[in-house]
Homo-oligomer: A and B are copies of this chain.
Amino acid sequence: MSRGNTRVTDAVRTEACPVTEVLDRVAGKWSIGILTAAAHGPVRFTELERAINGISRRMLSLNLRRLERDGLLIRTVHPTVPPKVEYSLTPMAQELHASLTGLVSWAERHRSAIAEARATYDTAAARELDAG
């Protein structure tokens, strides 16, 4: 999520708006996908890369670091050759994943309704352009 030229520090912002703090954990194009992909046990880097359709190696790495930093992911390095690194959710993240499941469920249930609403809205706007 872009914050533009906001001058407010993170500390002040999160204190003022806890809602934003939630979003920051889940924000970004890939966080939910990573959390979902890692929810059912230890997963290797390459497995995640293959599982999450369209993610770049860079973004996967960046997001894994951020999630690990926030205490949502456990990173386990097996000192073998070739290296083997596994990621899994912390208990805290497991809870988060449960909430996210609710979101996913909502999206599945209303996906077509949203598409329809959007189409209706757009045709209405187009008609106004014709009329005006």
Q: Which residues of A contact B (CB under 8 A)?
A: 1-3, 8-9, 11-13, 15-23, 25-29, 32-33, 36-37, 40, 43, 47, 50-54, 68-72, 92, 95-96, 98-111, 113-114, 116-118, 120-122
Task: Tell me whether B8 and A47 are in contact (CB under 8 A).
Answer: yes
- A-B contact sample (11 more), CB < 8 A, given A19-B33, A71-B117: A1-B40, A9-B47, A18-B111, A19-B32, A21-B107, A25-B107, A26-B26, A69-B118, A69-B121, A92-B113, A96-B103
Are B52 and A121 interface neighbours, CB within 8 A?
A: no
The closest CB in chain B to the CB of A114 belongs to B70
- The smallest C-beta distance from A14 to any residue of chain B, in angstroms, reads 8
Query: Is A25 in contact with B114, judged by CB distance below 8 angstroms?
Result: yes
Cα A26 to Cα B103 in complex, Å, equals 9
Name the residue of chain B whose CB is nearest to the CB of A97: B106
Smallest CB-CB separation from A107: which chain B residue? B22
Closest to A3 in B: B40
> Do A108 and B70 form a contact, CB below 8 Å, given A8-B40, A8-B43, A113-B92?
no
List, in ascending order, chain B residues with CB within 8 A of A47's CB. Answer: 8-9
